[in-house]
Amino acid sequence: MTDEPRQAPAGAPRTLPLLAAALAVAGCAGVVQEMAPPPPPTVADTPSEARAPDGSYISWVEHLIDAEDVNGGVPIRGGDGIVMADLDADGFEDIVTAQEDSNHLRVAFGTGDPDRWVLRTIA
């Protein structure tokens, strides 16, 4: 009788060492994944710290003025210029836009309602 460890015969499967190695690799992959930092938030998901001089938060609401679904279906494309001024002196800002792709020059006359604009095509 000998005290030497037995070796598997040549060509015999070594299941236990392979299984142990596979489990070790799988376990490490989970650790690496858990330690990865989360992706940074998008601009839209980032809370604003902007405040007015009185301490209130600054925010805005989108108001569609001259999109096809609100302007009666006028196909405007390629907006590349905008100017705001009170053109008709009624106390409300008016907006002039130029769209190079559809060759439009448009005026949106402001009213007391930010969701209602009087739209005119100049060219």
Q: Walk along the chain (123 residues) and give the pLDDT tens digit of each residue.
A: 556 666 656 655 566 676 677 766 666 655 555 678 888 888 778 877 888 899 888 877 777 787 787 778 888 887 788 999 999 999 999 999 998 878 889 999 999 998 899 999 888
Q: What is the residue whose two structure tokens read 């000998």?
A: 2
Rounded CA-CA distance 45/99 in Å is 31
* Beta strand extents in the chain (DSSP E only): 79-85, 94-99, 104-109, 118-121
Helix (H, G, I), strand (E, B) or coil at 2: coil
Residue pair 10/21 in contact by the 8 Å Cβ criterion: no
Q: Which two structure tokens, joined as six digits, stand for 81? A: 């210029």
Alpha-carbon torsion angle 77, 82, 105, 91, nearest 10: 130
Indicate the pTM of the whole model: 0.50
